[in-house]
Amino acid sequence: MLTIDLASQTLPYLRLHDKIYQALQLMNDHQVAHLPIVDGEKYVGIISEDDLLLAENDNAPLSELQQSFGNASAKTDEHFLRAIQVAAENGLSVVPIVDNENDIAGAVTYNDLLKYASDFMSLHEPGGLIVLEMGSNQYSFKEISKILETNDAQITQLNTLNNPETGIMRVTIRINKPDVSDIVAAFQRYEYDVKYYFGEELYVNELRTNYDNLMNYLKI
């Protein structure tokens, strides 16, 4: 699913001539802490509620706060998980979606992104999730499958992401078995680096403690 498929047409855009108090009111009305700013159809940047509240004159136009504008956005042709990465890395409640000409195509809230991610990863269905890291030359689908099958589990979804700069591959595995403790122990016996895991028994390791951090971890 691409980011353009999730673009909301109901979230408002701000204009450079809009007053600060107007921007704050729109954020309050839509229960978000960020909104994109446009000039015509061009995406200019994004402003936060915190920056607006720091302004001394709430009757001033947004153009006076351009030094506070962020420039984070996701492209229309990028996978929607990229928008989650942008939101997590920049602490955004809203991610602007732009085309290759930097024209605004819409925006999506972080809460909506998490809902789509939950559906995408089948998190509403029984099962567990395990994230492994390894050298890209160490990846073996056959061995991973064997470890899971030995523990009476089947892969329902598997995603890989290779970092060419570090040579590290991240493997995200969704399985049909909710109890992941034995499987995690098995991977560790085979000297796999288990970065994150959870199942219905709520096993959580010390490196990741909540779902938002998992979304931040899935950088695509």
Distance CA 81, CA 87 (A): 10
Residue 87: pLDDT band with limits 50, 70, 90: very high
Domain range 125-217, its CATH number among 3.40.50.300, 3.30.70.260, 3.40.50.10800, 3.40.50.620: 3.30.70.260
Tell me the residue type at 8.
Answer: S
Residues 95-131 as b/e (b if ≥16 CB within 10 A, e otherwise) read: bbbbeeeeebbbbbbbebbbebbeebbebeeebbbbb
Per-domain boundaries in the chain: 3-117, 125-217
Distance CA 83, CA 39 (A): 22
Query: In the CATH hierarchy, which fold is given to the domain comprising 3-117?
Result: CBS-domain (3.10.580)
Contact 173, 186 (CB under 8 A): no
pTM to 2 decimal places: 0.63
Give mean pLDDT, residues 66-91.
Answer: 91
Give mean pLDDT, residues 67-77.
Answer: 95
pLDDT of residue 95: 97
pLDDT of residue 101: 95
